[in-house]
Structure 1
Amino acid sequence: MKKILGVLAVLVVILLGLSACSSSGESDDTVIDVKGCFFLEPGDELKTAGIDDENLQNGEKYFFVVYDVINDSDKNIEISGFDDVVTVNFNGTNEYTQTSGFYDTPMLCEFLDYCGYQRSEEVEKMLGGCEPIRMIAPFIINEKDMKEDVTAEIDFSLSDELTAEKEITSEDIQTISLFDEVFKVEDDYEAYQVAQSVPRRAVLAKEYLDCAIMSAGEGNVAEVNLLMLQMKYIFSTEFPLGVSVGKYTASKKLPIFDINAVKAVHPDIADEVESLISDLNYFYDGVHNNNLTVNEMNDRYESVSNTTAAIKEFYHIS
Structure 2
Amino acid sequence: MDTEKTTEKVLLAGATGYLGHYIAEELVRRNIPAKIIGRRPEKLEYLEGGNREIIRAEVTQFKTLEGLCEGITTVISSIGITRQRDGLTYMDVDYQANLNLLSEAKRAGVRKFIYVSAINGDKYRHLKIFQAKEAFVDALKSSGLDYTVMRPNGFFSDMRDFLDMAKGGRVYLFGDGHYQMNPIHGEDLAKVCVDAITSAEQEIAVGGPDNLSQNELATLALKASNKPIKITHLPDWIRRMTIGLVRTFTSSKTYGPIEFFLTLMANDQLAPNYGKHHLEHFFKKEMERMRHG
TM-score by length of 1: 0.26
Higher strand share: 1
TM-score by length of 2: 0.27
